[in-house]
Amino acid sequence: MAATLRVEPAGRCCWDTPVRISVRGLAPGQPVTLRASLRDERGARFRAHARYRADARGELDLARAPALGGSFAGLEPMGLLWALEPEAACQAWEPRDGEGSFPGIIDLFGSGGGLCEYRASLLAGHGFSVLALAYFRFEDLPEYLHDMHLEYFEEAVNFMLQHPKVKGPSIGLLGFSKGGDLCLSMASFLKGITATVVINSCVANTIVPLHYKDMVIPNLHSDPGRHKITEAGILSYMDVWDNPLEARNHQSLIPLEKAQGPFLFIVGLDDRSWRSNFYAQIASERLQAHGKERPQIICYPGTGHCIDPPYFPPSRASVHAVLGTAVIYGGEPSAHSRAQVDAWQQIQTFFHKHLNGKKSVKRSKI
């Protein structure tokens, strides 16, 4: 009997949905190598492989059989997806299956710029109306980050609050890296925001000054000369940034105590771009010093800077879209992948609780 590969659920499904992979019709104890590949929207190919051994019945089920080697090892049912690695060489999303209105979220990415829609599209599949918002390097927006104006983001908030598919009276914010400190500023100065999630972000305004009406928040001081180079020749920028608590940086700190709603900080403890855990603790101490609720902080060991939805291959290093050079982000592949699964659930639970009135049903397992 010829060997047959089965993937369940069959057909198309969202990237954050686990799939079950099995093989039947093998010889008992037969060595097997499974390979996965895909091309992204730019045509770049990603590959992963793992070696297994069939059981006594000639079957292989990745939910029960540990990988013996390859791109990963051990019991990792989704390893062929999260282990994918590259070969050498403003969009609004609405729930697909519902009438009426849904909790609204604005989604911001980091200093690479452009319009990133994959996270927004996946959240839309979980009952949210999401606006993926670019703020430079897209269409008629500036090519590079210069002085930024919070009024641009205020327009996006008002757009969402008035949208017929958005369930008011408020919305949530989700930001990663530079997009995270922008979300903190939006939550602190703009109305109509009652839930904010930031992923590996700073508590000070970074990179460029931020303007709002007659106010200017200077950017956190930095010294590019403090960068380090790994043994592999990849740049590490973590030491470039000044300590936000130093006197000359006090004006760059974002006044989180002005925000109307709670915060969730997602922190990778192996973040090689920012001192994200330190920044989250600064936020917690500042909020409590002003008599505000302590933020929820979830820390993930072995997890780097780029925390994506489940089963996305961990981005441990890549050529930065603006800097044009390879930058290290950190993270151990297996731990980082597990963190992405848990963080994705935590983000949805937080937003459902604070935007939709649903109680939290799961605590972090990590």
* Given the residues 270, 271, 308, 342, the one annotated as active site: 271
The bridge status of strand 31-39 relative to strand 45-53 is antiparallel
Rounded Cα distance between 283 and 292, Å, is: 11
Rounded Cα distance between 304 and 270, Å, is: 5
* Given the residues 129, 177, 188, 201, the one annotated as active site: 177
What six digits make up the tokens of 32? 């097997």
Rounded Cα distance between 57 and 42, Å, is: 42
177 contacts 152 by C-beta, under 8 angstroms: no
What six digits make up the tokens of 109? 């990415």
Residue 271 is among the residues annotated as catalytic for this protein: yes
347 contact partners, CB below 8 Å, separation of at least 6: 174, 197, 264, 266
* Given the residues 163, 305, 336, 354, the one annotated as active site: 305
Residue 305 is among the residues annotated as catalytic for this protein: yes
Catalytic residues: 177, 271, 305
